[in-house]
Amino acid sequence: MNFQLNEELTLLQQTAREFAANELRAAARRMDETEEFEIEVFKKLAELGLAGLTIPEKFGGSGFYDQGMGNQAACVTLEEINRICASTGVTLSVHMSLFSSLLTKWGSEEQKARVLPKMASGEWLGAYCLSEAGSGTDAGSLVCEANKDGNDYVINGSKLWITSAPYADVFIVFARTDKAQKTRGITAFFVEADRKGLKVAKKEKKMGIRGSATCEVLFEDCRVPAANRIGDEGTGFKIALDTLDGGRVGIAAQAVGIGRACLEEATAYSKTREQFGQPIANFQAVQWMLADMAMKLDASRMLMYRAAWLRDNGKPCTAESAMAKLFASETANKAAKDAVQIFGGNGYSKEYNVERHFRDARITEIYEGTSQVQRIVIARNLLGD
């Protein structure tokens, strides 16, 4: 087994790392303070090809998908981006793993030709509408409706917790087309943001990833052509669950990036901060916290790459994606907690980035399936349920 990135992925890693260092370091702090995403940041990363990693080359993608490395390339990039700015990281992750990957796998050739080039170039930014007020973890209970009317569907309902909603150009929307069925009555659509009847509503005030807008999206007699339906009627829930396998790999990459930032910053600080006449790095209590961070981050990264490789190679990865997301997110939260502890009082101050990492890490155990849900997924796969 080869644990080294190949030449293409190594070059991609360097590109993403340099972009994050040069373009995101100052922007990350600004976006956290203003609670506003700087869309030009996304446009710049798209110019480098970082928005098209999970898209076939014939539709404008970067070529990694065609080499069977789309998810691995996304992980390499997302770790570097999230190491500096988790708000930009989640924006890119949703765009690649929840929108572009979904349409690449499940969309028709006409749909892919119509939409994916705009996603790869960064002309369009994608969002994903699954959760509702009464159906978060229990997504199969969604009530947003899409009723057939001639050659169109008319969508009515609301979606909550929609990442990137105010500046998204197109949304994947899951709506109920058959009230008599539960999960088999759900259908997937893509809906352009400028369609009449689509409205971005309440913006959430959040603890972390504050630079990424999370909003309610309302659909009021929103008319969408049948040509925008993805797959057959009733296959939407299957599409949603499959897509979340890839999305969880993306969140694992986000968690690894945040955790790595905590480790690097805590290590550097421990070497310069002195107490009792010596650097605190000399104390075993600090050394053990750093050692645990490093060990668990390495394990998280290995789980992440395993799941990404499986998905790139068309192999089942539901349990492996859940393991990667669960372990990496819990590791990131522990790393952030210990980093703040190592910084002491300074760690509680906004002057230092670990305070932001602590807040940003928290959501990784909640969205795209809570830690409890991941354990259920893993257990069901073990038991054959």
Tell me the angle at which helices 284-312 and 70-84 cross, rounded to the nearest 10 degrees. 150
Query: Across-strand partners of 189?
Result: 173, 229
* DSSP string of 40-54, one letter each residue: HHHHHHHHTTTT-TT
Distances (CA, A) of 330 to 100, 204, 293, 320: 27, 24, 11, 15
Rounded distance between C-alpha atoms, residue 353 and residue 364, angstroms: 17
Domain range list for the chain:
7-124, 128-234, 243-383
pLDDT of residue 26: 95
Please give the average pLDDT of every successive group of 10 residues along the chain, which has 385 residues: 89 98 97 97 97 98 97 98 98 98 98 98 98 93 97 98 98 97 97 98 98 98 98 98 97 98 98 98 98 98 98 97 98 98 98 98 97 97 91
Is 340 in contact with 352 (CB distance < 8 Å)?
Answer: no
Distance CA 82, CA 159 (A): 26
Q: Which of 38, 320, 330, 368 is catalytic?
A: 368
Q: What is the pLDDT of residue 1?
A: 65
> Residue 214 forms beta bridges with which residues?
163
Is 7-124 CATH 2.40.340.10? no
Q: CA angle, corner 365, sides to 359 and 369, nearest 5?
A: 140
Q: How many residues does the chain have?
A: 385
Q: Is 180 exposed, middle or buried (0-12, 13-18, 19+ CB in 10 A)?
A: exposed
Query: What is the DSSP code string of 283-342?
Result: SHHHHHHHHHHHHHHHHHHHHHHHHHHHHHTT---HHHHHHHHHHHHHHHHHHHHHHHHH
Fold of the domain spanning 128-234: Butyryl-CoA Dehydrogenase, subunit A; domain 2 (2.40.110)
Do residues 211 and 167 make contact, with C-beta atoms less than 8 angstroms apart? no
Determine the pLDDT at residue 21.
Answer: 97
Secondary structure of residue 190 in the 3-state scheme = strand
Q: What angle do CA 40, 41, 43 make, to 5 degrees?
A: 60
Amino acid, res. 305: Y
**273 vs 280: CA distance, rounded Å:** 6
- Asked if residues 98 and 126 have their Cβ atoms less than 8 Å apart, the reply is yes
Torsion-angle region of residue 344: left (phi > 0), alpha (psi -120 to 50) or beta?
A: left
Q: What's residue 3's pLDDT?
A: 82
Is-catalytic flag, 330? no
Architecture label for domain 243-383: Up-down Bundle (1.20)
Query: Which of 103, 95, 122, 119 minimizes the C-alpha distance to 212?
Result: 95
What token pair was written down for 97? Answer: 């793993």
CA distance 85 to 209: 8
